[in-house]
Structure 1
Amino acid sequence: MVSVRVLLVGAGGMGRAHLRNLLALRDAVIVGIVDPSSEAIAATRQLSQELQSTPGFATLESALETIEADAAVIVTPHAQHFQQGQLCLQRGLHVLMEKPFVSGSSNARALIELAQQVGRHLAVSYQRRLQGPYVYLKDLIESGELGEIRYATAYQAQSWLESQRGTWRQNRELSCGGQLNDSGSHLVDVMLWLIGSKPKAVFGHIDNRGTEVDIDSALTIRFEHDVICTLNVVGSASIGWWEDVAIHGTNGTALYRNGELWVARGLHSELRPVTVEELPATTNPDENFVDLVLGRIDTPAAAAESGYQVARLTEAAWESNAKRQWIAF
C-alpha cells in the first residue's frame, strides 16, 4: 500500500478539521464523504479542488456498498460511533474514531474485541498525546527527573454551556453525556496517560446547570502508588478556552499553562519556562493514523484501549455523583 484510501464519516466542523489534516498528507486520498446533510457535504467540498469529484453519501451503508476504502475517520455524534465503527471494521476498514470513542465502556470493549478479531487498527483521536508540550511532559515524567509523582491536577474551562446550547452535544440521546464526555474527555485521557498508573477510586461532584447533561465536574481520583489527582471541567465558564495541568513529584514540578510549559528540576528550585525550540514537534491524529495503516509505526498515539479507560473513569464519576460516595475500580 502506497497511500491510504480514506472514507470520512461526518462532514461537520470537526469532520472538516480532520479533512484539512488529511488533505495535507501526500499519502492519504479521500474516496468518499458521508453525511445526511447535503449542505455539509457541499461545504466540505469547498476545502479543496480535488474534492469536487469525491462522491458524497447520505448513509454509511451506501458508501460501503459503493466505494473501496482502506480506512474510515468517524466524526459523528457520539451515540452513532459504535454502530458505525462496527460496520467499518466488518468491511475490513481500519478506524480512527473521534473522541470520546464510543458510548460506554461495555461498547468500547466490544468494539476493541471486534477489531482484534478482524485484524484491523482501531484508534481514538486524542490529539494531546501528539502535541509538543504534552509529549515533553510525558517524556519528563518517564525520565524520572521529577522523582516519584505524588500529586497531579488538571483544569479545563470553556463556555460550553452557552456555545453548545441547542446542539446535539447537549442532547443526552445523541451525546451520551455532557462536557466531561466531550472536551473534558481529552483532559481525562491526558491525565491517565501522563500519570501512567491505574486509578483505584474516584469521587465526583457534578452539576448539570439545568440541562440534560453534565456541565461542571469536580473529580478526585486516587491512583496506585499513592498518587492523588484532582480534575476540574468547567463547562459554564464565560471564557472561550483555558487548560492547565500540574504535576508534582518528589524532585520537581511541571506546570502546563494553556500552551506554555514551566519546569522546576530539583527541590526548592525555581520554575523556568521551556522554550518552543526545546519542545518536540507537534503532529496530529490523522497523520499518526495514516502512518499506522501504512505500517510506519506499530501502535497509534491513542489506541482504542485508552478510549475504554476514559469511558470507565467517566462512568465511575457519574455513578459517584449519583450515589455521593467513592466508586472503586
Structure 2
Amino acid sequence: MVTRLRLGVIGAGLKAAEYAASWVAMPEVEFVALSDTSPSSLDRLASICAGAGAARPQCFADYREMLADCGDGLDIVYVSTPHAFHAEQAIAVAERGIDLFLEKPMVTTVPEAEALIAAQKRGKGTIVTAFQGGLSPLVLDTRRRSLNGEFGELVAISGMIWESWSSNYAGHWKQTPEISGGGFMFDTGAHLMNTVCLLANSDFASVGAYMDNRGAPVDIVTAVSARLANGALATLTAAGEGPKGCASFISLFFTKAIVRIDAWGGWRELVLDSVTQPRETAEILDNPLKSFLAIRAGSMENTGSVEMGLRFARLWDAIKASARADGTPVHIGAAGGQMER
C-alpha cells in the first residue's frame, strides 16, 4: 500500500489549478489544505480535487492559519504566489520542517535567499524551486557531462530569451513592481538566468547591465555582460516586447564542445570534438511534482536547491544594481557581497 504524502498549497491561482489536474490523480499525494486570499481561486482548486473523487481540502484565506491548524499534518507545501511573497511564506514553511516545493523564482533578493537558507538549516526540510530547466533531463545531462570534464573548459556563454510579455501581461501583477520583484528579466527571463547559473557551474564575479522599461512600470528589455568566477565570459539578453510567441537560446562554448540548449531544456544541439550530433528533444515537464518527489527520496540531484537560488539571487541583485548605475559593473566578492564601481 502506498503511503500518501499530505500536500498543502499556498496560492491557489491558475498555475496551481493547472498542476492540480494531474497531481490529484497521483497515488503518492493527497491534497489536505489550501490557502489563498481569493475565495474563487480556493473554490476552483478544491473543486478540482472533489471532481476527481478526492476529499475536498480544507480552505484558508491566510496561509499562517493553514500552517497553524494543519502544519503538523502536512508533509509537503507547494507555494505558488506572486514573487515578492515567496520569501515570507517559504521561510514560514521551512521553519516548520515541512518539505517545500516553491514556484520560481525562489526569492527576490540575496538577503531573502540567505534568510531562507538559515530557515532550512533550522527546519531540516527539503526545498526545491520549480524551474523546468533545472529538472529537464537534457539540462541535467549537460551539467553532468560538463562537471565530468567531457566538454573541456568553459570559455563563454551567450543566452537570449524573448516573449510578447509586455502586452501579454499588461495590468497583471507581474507588471506591478511592489509584488513582482522585477519585470520580464525576473519573470520569464528567470528561466534563462537559472539555466545559465546551473550550467555555468560557477558564481558570477562581475556584472554590467542595462534595462529599458519601454513605458511600463517594470523592465521590459535587459542586456547583461558578465564575467564568471571561473573566468568565462557571458552575455544575456531578454526582450519582453515583440511578436506573439516565446523562445530562448543558450550557447555554451567549451574548449572541446559547443552546447546549444533552450532555457526550459526542451531541446539540445551538441558539437563535440568537431562532430555535430543530432538535435535532441525532451518533453518539457508538465508534472514537476514527480521530480520533486524523486529529489525528496534522494534519487535525483536537487538542482533547485537553496544554494542554487542564492547564486541566482546574487546575479539578479547585481543586474539591478548595475542597471541603476547606468551599466557600471558590479563586482561580487568571494562571499557574495556586492561592490559597485
Please give the TM-score of this superposition, normalised by the length of structure 1.
0.90
Cα distance in 1 for partners of 2:239, 2:173 equals 19
How many residue pairs match? The answer is 324
Deviation at 1:214, TM superposition (A): 1.2
RMSD of Structure 2 on Structure 1 (CA): 2.3
Query: CA distance change for structure 1 residues 147 and 230 in 2, over 3 Å: closer, same or farther?
Result: same
Aligned match of 2:137: 132
Residue 287, structure 1, aligned to residue 290, structure 2: yes
Deviation at 1:299, TM superposition (A): 5.4
Please give the TM-score of this superposition, normalised by the length of structure 2.
0.87
Is contact 1:21-1:286 (8 Å) kept? no
Deviation at 1:223, TM superposition (A): 1.1
Higher RCO by CA contacts (8 Å cutoff, separation 6 or greater): 1
Structure 1 residues 85-110: Cα deviation after superposition (integer angstroms, max 9, x where no partner): 23222333221211111221101101
Percentage identity across paired residues of the two chains: 23
Deviation at 1:36, TM superposition (A): 1.3
Aligned match of 2:338: none
Is contact 1:260-1:273 (8 Å) kept? no
Residue 85, structure 1, aligned to residue 86, structure 2: no
Query: CA distance change for structure 1 residues 20 and 142 in 2, over 3 Å: closer, same or farther?
Result: farther
Is contact 1:132-1:282 (8 Å) kept? no
Give 1:321's match in structure 2, choosing from 306, 317, 323: 323
Is contact 2:23-2:287 (8 Å) kept? no
Give 1:226's match in structure 2, choosing from 220, 227, 231: 231
Is contact 2:291-2:300 (8 Å) kept? no
Gaps spanning 5+ residues in structure 2: where? 333-341
Cα distance in 2 for partners of 1:235, 1:66 equals 42
Is contact 2:19-2:286 (8 Å) kept? no
Gaps spanning 5+ residues in structure 1: where? none
State how 1:102-113 maps to structure 2 within 5 Å. Answer: 102-113=107-118
Deviation at 1:284, TM superposition (A): 5.1
Aligned match of 2:76: 71
Query: CA distance change for structure 1 residues 89 and 137 in 2, over 3 Å: closer, same or farther?
Result: closer
Is contact 2:198-2:303 (8 Å) kept? no
Deviation at 1:227, TM superposition (A): 0.7
Query: CA distance change for structure 1 residues 73 and 320 in 2, over 3 Å: closer, same or farther?
Result: same
Query: CA distance change for structure 1 residues 245 and 231 in 2, over 3 Å: closer, same or farther?
Result: same
Is contact 1:285-1:301 (8 Å) kept? no
Structure 1 residues 139-191: Cα deviation after superposition (integer angstroms, max 9, x where no partner): 34234333222111111111111111101111011111111111111211110
State how 1:169-318 maps to structure 2 within 5 Å. Answer: 169-256=174-261, 259-267=266-274, 269=275, 271-276=276-281, 285-293=288-296, 295-297=297-299, 300-318=302-320
Is contact 1:70-1:93 (8 Å) kept? yes
Deviation at 1:313, TM superposition (A): 0.6
Cα distance in 1 for partners of 2:238, 2:200 equals 18
Deviation at 1:283, TM superposition (A): 8.0
Cα distance in 1 for partners of 2:194, 2:251 equals 15
State how 1:49-60 maps to structure 2 within 5 Å. Answer: 49-51=52-54, 53-60=56-63
2:214 alignment partner, SS class:
coil
Query: CA distance change for structure 1 residues 146 and 90 in 2, over 3 Å: closer, same or farther?
Result: closer
Structure 1 residues 274-298: Cα deviation after superposition (integer angstroms, max 9, x where no partner): 345xx699685422322344x3448
Is contact 2:98-2:123 (8 Å) kept? no
1:180 alignment partner, SS class:
coil
Deviation at 1:16, TM superposition (A): 2.0
Is contact 1:129-1:190 (8 Å) kept? yes
* One-letter amino acid matched to 1:15: A
Cα distance in 2 for partners of 1:180, 1:107 equals 19
Cα distance in 1 for partners of 2:286, 2:199 equals 18
